[in-house]
Amino acid sequence: MEKVRISKLMAERGMCSRREADSYIERGWVKVDGVVATLGERATASQTITLDKNVASQQSARVTILINKPMAYVSGQAEDGYTPAVALITAANRSRTDRSPLRFDRNQLRGLAVAGRLDIDSTGLLVLTQDGRVARTLIGEDSEVEKEYLVRVQGKLRPGGLELLNEGLSLDGKRLKRAQVQWQNDDQLRFVLREGKKRQIRRMCELVGLTVLGLKRVRIGQVMLADLPVGQWRYLAAHERF
Q: Please measure the distance between the N-terminal and C-terminal CA atoms of the chain and give it in whole angstroms.
A: 33
DSSP H helices in 50-175: 53-60, 132-139, 161-167
Element (H, E) at 21: helix 18-26
Cα distance between residue 226 and residue 125, in whole Å? 9
151 contacts 205 by C-beta, under 8 angstroms: yes
Q: What is the mean pLDDT of the chain?
A: 91
Query: Where are any strands of DSSP class E within the chain?
Result: 4-5, 30-32, 35-36, 42-43, 49-51, 64-69, 73-74, 83-84, 113-114, 123-129, 147-155, 170-171, 174-175, 180-185, 188-193, 210-220, 223-224, 233-235
Per-residue model confidence (pLDDT) at position 14: 77
Res. 150 pLDDT band, cuts 50 70 90: very high
**Is the C-alpha dihedral spanning 133, 11, 199, 114 positive or negative?**
positive
Tell me the catalytic residues. 119
- Each residue of 54-78: pLDDT tens digit? 777 666 678 999 999 999 999 987 6
Determine phi and psi for 172, rounding to 5 degrees. Answer: 55, 35
Q: Is the model's pLDDT at 88 over the cut of 90?
A: yes
Where is 201: in which H helix or E strand? Answer: helix 200-207
**8-17, 25-34, 127-136, 175-184: which range is least confident on average?**
8-17
User: Predicted confidence band at 15 (pLDDT cuts at 50, 70, 90)?
Assistant: confident
Assess whether pLDDT exceeds 80 at residue 216. yes
User: What CA–CA distance (Å, rounded) separates 5 from 215?
Assistant: 40
Residues 163-178: pLDDT tens digits?
999 998 999 999 999 9
Residue 211, pLDDT > 70, answer yes
CB 182 within 8 A of CB 151: no
Tell me if 126 sits within 8 A of 118, measured CB to CB: yes
| pLDDT digits 0-9 by tens, 103-149 | 998 888 988 999 999 999 999 999 999 988 888 889 877 788 999 99
Q: Distance (Å, rounded) from C-alpha 25 to C-alpha 233?
A: 34
Q: Which of helix, strand or coil describes residue 166?
A: helix
What is the reported pLDDT for 10?
87
Identify the weakest region by mean pLDDT among 22-26, 84-88, 199-203: 22-26
The per-residue pLDDT for 48 is: 92
Amino acid 14 reads: G
Q: What's the 3-state SS for 116-140?
A: CCCCCCCEEEEEEECCHHHHHHHHC
Domains of the chain: 4-60 (3.10.290.10), 64-141+223-235 (3.30.70.580), 147-220 (3.30.70.1560)
Q: Taking the model in full, what pTM does it have? A: 0.79
In whole angstroms, what is the distance from residue 29 CA to residue 119 CA? Answer: 38
pLDDT of the residue at 140 = 79
CA distances, 34 to each of 12, 49, 120 (Å): 20, 8, 48
Rounded-to-10 torsion of CA 67, 73, 79, 84: -30
Whether 231 shows a pLDDT value over 80: the answer reads yes
